[in-house]
């Protein structure tokens, strides 16, 4: 009697799991295949411009690198190493996206490169596709310099100085970053497992510089994907922090002189009265022969009496 309820619960769990899996796969198929195909039908081959340019660039630099002189120029234009000056690495990083790694099959990577740039351009647009590809590649390059600067140790994070001479080129970090970013934005767990999970397995199986850079690219793409669509909120937070910092600046914290206390208000003035009129004194009568002018009595001076 106890096996029937247990079997019923197991069957219901399997049914719920099948439904969730079906909805997930249906949504992922819509996000990965249906929506990009509709964009391609609306925009035509112009929606695949970045994909064609990336694939052509890899093939072009691969063919040039087959000759000794061409290999030298390819290394000078797009060869990135951790021991190079920072300004030179930043200058070569955009071209290094199209320089394939010499120890990997180029034709196998072109398919992944074309699909990544095609899906990203049809979903995100050209500007954001280029921004995500460059940001993830640059994050891996700068993190590699940091690992080498730290040196061996640091719980396995640092790298020996010999890793600074390893040629760090290829579009693999950009491809991984684009796939991961799109998987986070479009909520595609299958694609995320195939890209991020494969990079984790690669870094564990072959612990080299490329594997670590791929992990950094995956982490950077996850952060950028989680921040997607939150630009307005981030700008509001930045403005509030800037306003708070301005309020806490020393200029606003200086004390001002206290204002003197005001006494009681004076009594309101009473009714206005007309000013008192003065009566002018009568003028003295004019002097005549019969009436001489009055004179003041003479006061004797004590100085003259002496």
Question: Per-residue DSSP letters for 45-75?
Answer: GGGGHHHHHHHHHHHHHHHHTTSHHHHHHHH
Distance CA 164, CA 89 (A): 12
Please state the domain extents for the chain.
Answer: 43-229
**What are the φ/ψ torsions at residue 111 (nearest 5 degrees)?**
-65, -45
Residue 30: predicted pLDDT: 83
Its sign, for the CA torsion 298, 299, 301, 302, is: positive
Residue 118: predicted pLDDT: 93
Q: Both tokens of residue 197?
A: 């999970």
Residue 213: predicted pLDDT: 85
Taking CA atoms, 167 is separated from 124, 163, 188, 210, in Å, by: 31, 9, 33, 10
Residue 301: predicted pLDDT: 46
What is the chain's alpha carbon radius of gyration, rounded to the nearest angstrom? Answer: 45
* pTM for this model (two decimals): 0.70
Residue 236: predicted pLDDT: 67
Rounded (10°) angle between helices 49-64 and 126-150: 50
Distance CA 199, CA 222 (A): 13
Provide the Cα torsion 173, 220, 130, 120; round to 10°: 80
Domain 43-229: which CATH class? mainly alpha
Q: Do residues 99 and 111 touch, judged by C-beta distance below 8 A?
A: no
* HEC per residue, 222-277: HHHHHCCCCHHHHHHHHHHHHHHHHHCCHHHHCCCCCCCCCCCCCCCCCCCCCCCC
Hey, is 119 helix, strand or coil? Answer: helix
- Alpha helix locations (H) across the chain? 3-29, 35-43, 49-64, 68-78, 86-96, 106-124, 126-150, 172-185, 189-192, 198-205, 209-226, 231-247, 250-253, 302-305
CA angle at 40 for the pair 198 and 176, rounded to the nearest 5°: 15
Its sign, for the CA torsion 27, 29, 34, 35, is: positive
Residue 1: predicted pLDDT: 47
The pLDDT tens digits along the chain (306 residues) read 455 666 666 777 777 777 777 787 787 888 888 888 888 899 888 889 999 999 998 889 888 888 889 888 988 888 888 888 889 888 988 888 888 776 666 677 788 889 999 999 999 989 999 999 999 999 988 888 888 888 877 676 788 888 778 887 788 889 999 999 999 998 888 888 888 777 778 777 777 787 888 888 898 999 998 987 666 666 666 667 767 666 665 555 555 445 555 555 555 555 555 555 555 555 555 555 455 555 555 545 444 444
């Amino acid at each position: 009697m106890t096996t029937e309820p247990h079997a019923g619960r197991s069957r219901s769990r399997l049914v719920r799991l099948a439904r969730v899996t079906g909805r997930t796969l249906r949504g992922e198929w819509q996000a990965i295949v249906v929506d990009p195909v509709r964009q391609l039908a609306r925009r035509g081959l112009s929606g695949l411009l970045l994909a064609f340019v990336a694939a052509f660039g890899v093939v072009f630099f691969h063919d040039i690198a087959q000759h000794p002189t061409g290999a030298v120029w390819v290394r000078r234009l797009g060869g990135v190493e951790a021991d190079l000056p920072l300004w030179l690495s930043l200058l070569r990083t955009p071209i290094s996206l199209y320089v394939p790694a010499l120890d990997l099959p180029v034709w196998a990577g072109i398919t992944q490169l074309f699909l990544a740039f095609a899906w990203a351009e049809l979903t995100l647009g050209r500007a954001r596709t280029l921004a995500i590809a460059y940001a993830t590649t640059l994050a891996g390059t700068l993190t590699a310099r940091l690992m080498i600067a730290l040196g061996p140790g640091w719980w396995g994070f640092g790298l020996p100085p010999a890793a600074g001479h390893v040629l760090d080129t290829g579009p693999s970090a950009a491809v991984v970053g684009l796939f991961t970013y799109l998987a986070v934005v479009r909520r595609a767990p299958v694609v995320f497992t195939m890209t991020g999970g494969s990079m984790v397995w690669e870094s564990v199986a072959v612990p080299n510089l490329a594997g670590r850079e791929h992990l950094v690219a995956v982490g950077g793409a996850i952060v950028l994907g989680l921040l997607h669509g939150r630009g307005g909120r981030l700008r509001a937070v930045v403005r509030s922090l800037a306003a708070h910092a301005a309020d806490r600046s020393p200029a606003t914290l200086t004390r001002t002189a206290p204002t003197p206390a005001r006494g009681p208000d004076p009594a309101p003035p009473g009714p206005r009265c007309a000013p008192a009129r003065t009566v002018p004194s009568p003028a003295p009568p004019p002097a005549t022969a019969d009436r001489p002018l009055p004179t003041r009595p003479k006061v004797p001076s004590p100085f003259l009496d002496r």
